Structure 1
Amino acid sequence: MAASIESLIEDWKSSVVKEITSSDDTDKLTDYALHLSRILAYPGLDVSAILSMIDSMGHEVVQMVKKDLATPRRPTQIIDKINDYLFNMHKFKANIDDYYNPLNSYLNVVIERKTGIPITLAILYLRIARAVNFKMEPVNFPSHFLIKHVLEDNSGEIIVDPFNGGRIMDDYSLKTLLDQTYPRQDIPLTHALVKKATPVQVIIRMLNNLKGSLYEAQDIEKYTIANEMVLAIDRHNPDAIRDKGIMLLKKGESAEALKVLNSYL
């Protein structure tokens, strides 16, 4: 028998929410993403086994770095090695042709199929970089998730786009990406757009991506669960409150919908 929404949300709270809301440590993003997959779509998923597999991949990159790069190593050399491992040797790639498929948001499936969207490829990249002891951070860039390495003494940053083969993004590339996403708006490129994202911001963005894909696929049950997972992290999230009210209206639960939507307004 399928688990109830209530039991799934309790599982989510105990597995992720308690920790994610009490720490800004992004090292556990892979764990959180895999629990998201397990709770929403893959109840038998062995999270520990997938983490061990990713860490084995990271160990292979460590060996490549030790073998091929003399010390001291430049950050761009390490980025090149990670890129070579993920995108050349293992053929990970952007899923451009089927971008809105919900499978692109399940990290275990992304690893199996070697294709995904910016945020899932970024989370995998972050874990691999961590194995090399190369600190990288998530970046909640508008409409296109990125990652970055902060240089020693905070003397600068290297922005990386895992969705495009680990391309290093300069200011011109970032502004071009911004203009392509928001044409005719001329949004200025500021440092606020590339600041480090918190674990809460990352996982809520993952869930929002998934909500959009699930809605397009008309998987309303999983859409509802994903929305409740957002609210479990942030009960004041305005988009999730609005979406819950709309779904209640569609189910004919007008009184409850009105109560929810009033809190949104």
Structure 2
Amino acid sequence: MDTLQAFADLVSRPDAEIDLTRTAAMIGLREYPDLDVDAVAEGLDAMAVGVRDLAGLRTRLFADLGFSGENLAYYHPDNSFLHRVVERRRGIPITLSVLAIEVGRRAGIDLEGIGMPGHFLVREPSSGAYIDAFHGGVLLDEQACELLFRAATGAGPEVPFSAALLPVVSRAQILGRMLNNLGLVYRVNSDASGLEWTLRLRLALPEVTGQDIIELAEAVAAQGRARDAVRELEAWATVSPDLATPLKLTARGLLARLN
């Protein structure tokens, strides 16, 4: 079974059954094809040993092990690969948050991802505490979350802040946001092959959009495979009739470039 199919099989399960450690680690398999995903999971198992509560988790990850945010090379692909974050002890908010969630889960600590615009967070439902894994696992209340939101997005006082900007997100949504971040890096680096990889993984998740499919086709075409891109669009138009019109229009545009 190839990686894309294995990923698709894992994320097709009910959300609560998605193995977030394994699926997050698999995102790195394109650039690190020899990656041992089981070893990544075992590393997180070891981190959880002896952790009893949120305070202990924060001490283990951010004091003892020294995990922190990557500021010097924020847009490097390695920041989106869980195994490289573990190795380097550096990452971006969402991968560090996944690490905290998954080590916490192994220690019996219930944590949830919070999809705040501009900066991903973690929350402990039982206490209501927000955790900023990028800034050393600091605890935040809603007022501090608002300050972080405004700093991250540049939103001024005219933009209202409410709990609606602190939504709990599913495991599939966490993976989608990880892939969106990585896709942005590949776009900036003009890496069409890397972008194709992230979009194929993205399309295995729920809530497929026409824009995702069109971007995949464009990434394929950018590698000199325009006819493959057209076939891709036509296949998606067949299985997603509600998206057929924009997909067929894009296919015609690609065909016109070939003539």
TM-score by length of 1: 0.79
Question: How far does residue 235 in structure 1 lie from its aligned partner after superposition?
Answer: 6.7
SS of 1:233's partner is coil
> Which residue number in structure 1 is paired with residue 43 of structure 2?
53
- Taking the TM superposition and a 5 Å limit, the aligned residue runs for 1:1-265 are 10-13=2-5, 15-25=6-16, 28-38=19-29, 40-59=30-49, 61-62=50-51, 65=52, 78-151=53-126, 157-180=128-151, 181-184=153-156, 186-234=158-206, 236-247=208-219, 250=222, 251=224, 253=226, 256=230, 262-263=246-247
Alpha-carbon separation, structure 2, partners of 1:184 and 1:242: 34
Identity of aligned residues (%): 26
Kindly provide the amino acid, as one letter, of the partner of residue 81 in structure 2: Y
Alpha-carbon separation, structure 1, partners of 2:172 and 2:81: 17
Kindly provide the amino acid, as one letter, of the partner of residue 38 in structure 2: S
Does the aligned pair in 2 maintain the 1:178–1:187 contact within 8 Å? no
Alpha-carbon separation, structure 1, partners of 2:70 and 2:17: 25
Alpha-carbon separation, structure 1, partners of 2:150 and 2:160: 9
Does the aligned pair in 1 maintain the 2:193–2:219 contact within 8 Å? no
Return 5+ residue gaps in structure 2 as ranges. 238-244, 250-259
Question: How far does residue 264 in structure 1 lie from its aligned partner after superposition?
Answer: 8.9
Question: How far does residue 229 in structure 1 lie from its aligned partner after superposition?
Answer: 1.4
Does the aligned pair in 1 maintain the 2:67–2:90 contact within 8 Å? yes
Does the aligned pair in 2 maintain the 1:33–1:203 contact within 8 Å? yes
Q: Which is worse superposed, 244-253 or 175-184?
A: 244-253
SS of 2:203's partner is helix
Kindly provide the amino acid, as one letter, of the partner of residue 144 in structure 2: S
Q: Which is worse superposed, 223-232 or 110-119?
A: 223-232
Question: How far does residue 109 in structure 1 lie from its aligned partner after superposition?
Answer: 0.6
Alpha-carbon separation, structure 2, partners of 1:171 and 1:158: 9
Alpha-carbon separation, structure 2, partners of 1:100 and 1:142: 17
Kindly provide the amino acid, as one letter, of the partner of residue 56 in structure 2: K
TM-score by length of 2: 0.81
Alpha-carbon separation, structure 2, partners of 1:31 and 1:238: 27
Does the aligned pair in 1 maintain the 2:196–2:220 contact within 8 Å? no
Question: How far does residue 12 in structure 1 lie from its aligned partner after superposition?
Answer: 2.1
Q: CA separation of 1:192/1:183 partners in 2, compared to 1, >3 Å: closer, same or farther?
A: closer
Does the aligned pair in 1 maintain the 2:213–2:233 contact within 8 Å? no
Q: More relative contact order in 1 or in 2 (CA 8 Å, sep 6+)? A: 1
Kindly provide the amino acid, as one letter, of the partner of residue 263 in structure 1: L
Aligned residues: 236
Q: CA separation of 1:235/1:137 partners in 2, compared to 1, >3 Å: closer, same or farther?
A: closer
Question: How far does residue 18 in structure 1 lie from its aligned partner after superposition?
Answer: 2.6
SS of 2:190's partner is coil
Q: For the aligned residues, what is the CA RMSD?
A: 2.6
Does the aligned pair in 1 maintain the 2:233–2:248 contact within 8 Å? no
Q: CA separation of 1:128/1:82 partners in 2, compared to 1, >3 Å: closer, same or farther?
A: same
Q: Deviations over 1:229-252 (max 9, x none)?
A: 112224732442242243356448
